[in-house]
Amino acid sequence: MISIVTVSYKSLDYVETMLASLFKFVPRDDLEVFVVINGDGTDPSALQRRYPIVRFIVSERNLGFAGGCNLAIRQSNGEFVILLNPDTIFTSDAITAIEVRMRRDEDVGIGGISLKNLDGTQQDCVWHFPTPVDQLLLLSKLPHVFPNLGPIRRYLMKDFDYGRTQDVDQVMGAFFCIRREVIDRIGLLDDGFFLWYEEVDFCKRTVDAGWKVRYYGDVSMLHRKGGSFSRVGTWKKQGMVRRSLRRYMKKHYGTPVWLMFVALDPIFFVLAALASLIKPS
């Protein structure tokens, strides 16, 4: 059995498109599909009537991406759990394709796939694990002025060959296939990350536990990049990013590095304010 988990925040229109493509291209009867309505007050009853096989979980409050996913993961039974953004669209049976590959590759704990823009072009969807240096540079907005900085190119993996299957540090959470044994060993997503860095943290914990994270370049689907988060303003998103990054740094680099990010946050706050004026949404 495969468990599919989607968290929706004001995204039921995207969920509807995603579910239509899922049931069109994935012809199997051993799926359990969860949609978590994450405290946004939307009513999923029309979709529930259209797709009675889907289990809708309504949270009274917004638990963030990790918290919303965990609600469904706790109820799931699949040998693989696939976290799927509502703004994704199937064009083939990517579910079965990644299952076949991960059953073959028993050392792989997390699998990701090639995510394409709606026009078919390749999205950036793999990165190295973040370090204090590259994240400080990103928060300082220096890459906007100096786009070829070495630490940034390394972190963003600008020379990555998306046509080739290979092991990576992290894959994008828009399609994030987790082997059940990994969850049993390391636990759920850390819901202390409200939004952003939760899948990065999960990949890091998975690698630290001895599993591999693998990008499968021969499996793909469409992804409206940023679609799910386009309804959250830049100002609010910047604050979420900084809070989540501080948590990641404390977990994986220790208290001194965390304190540095805390001390510099007023500067990053001002830079985020400027960014929100330039790009208000």
Over the stretch 51-110, which tens digit does the pLDDT of each residue have?
999 999 999 999 999 999 999 999 999 999 999 999 999 999 999 999 999 999 999 999
2-125+162-231: CATH topology? Spore Coat Polysaccharide Biosynthesis Protein SpsA; Chain A (3.90.550)
CA torsion, ordered 238, 147, 140, 154, to nearest 10 deg:
80
Q: What is the pLDDT of residue 1?
A: 95
Q: What is the pTM of this model?
A: 0.94
Q: What is the pLDDT of residue 277?
A: 72
d(CA 251, CA 198): 12
Reduced 3-state DSSP string for the chain = CEEEEEEECCCHHHHHHHHHHHHHHCCCCCEEEEEEEECCCCCCHHHHHHCCCCEEEEECCCCHHHHHHHHHHCCCCCCEEEEECCCEECCCCHHHHHHHHHHHCCCEEEEEEEEECCCCCECCCEECCCCHHHHHHHHCCHHHCCCCCHHHHHHHCCCCCCCCCEEECEECCCEEEEEHHHHHHHCCCCCCCCCCCHHHHHHHHHHHCCCEEEEEEEEEEEECCCCCCCCCCHHHHHHHHHHHHHHHHHHHHCHHHHHHHHHHHHHHHHHHHHHHHHCCC
Confidence of residue 227 (pLDDT cuts 50, 70, 90): low
Q: What is the pLDDT of residue 28?
A: 93
Tell me: pLDDT of 233 over 60. Answer: no
Percent of the chain predicted with pLDDT > 90:
86
Tell me: pLDDT of 12 over 80. Answer: yes
Average pLDDT, the chain: 94
Residue environment code for 38-54, b if the CB has 16+ CB neighbours within 10 A, otherwise e:
bbeebebeebeeebeeb
HSE-CB for 271 with a 13 A CA cutoff? 14
Bigger pLDDT: 271 vs 105: 105
The two tokens of residue 23 are 């049931």
Confidence of residue 230 (pLDDT cuts 50, 70, 90): low
Tell me: pLDDT of 274 over 90. Answer: no
Q: What is the pLDDT of residue 273?
A: 79
Amino acid at 14: Y
Tell me: pLDDT of 281 over 60. Answer: no
Q: Which of 37-46, 143-152, 191-200 has the lowest mean pLDDT?
A: 143-152
Taking residue 210's Cβ as centre, other Cβ atoms within 10 Å add up to 10
240 — alpha (psi -120 to 50), left (phi > 0) or beta? alpha
pLDDT in tens, 136-195: 999 998 887 888 899 999 999 999 999 999 999 999 999 999 999 999 999 999 999 988
Tell me: pLDDT of 229 over 60. Answer: no
Q: What is the pLDDT of residue 79?
A: 98
Q: What is the pLDDT of residue 280?
A: 52
Amino acid at 213: V
Bigger pLDDT: 273 vs 74: 74
Percent of the chain predicted with pLDDT > 70:
94
Q: What is the pLDDT of residue 271?
A: 84
Domain locations along the chain: 2-125+162-231, 130-156+232-281
Angle between helices 132-139 and 255-278 (to 10 degrees): 30
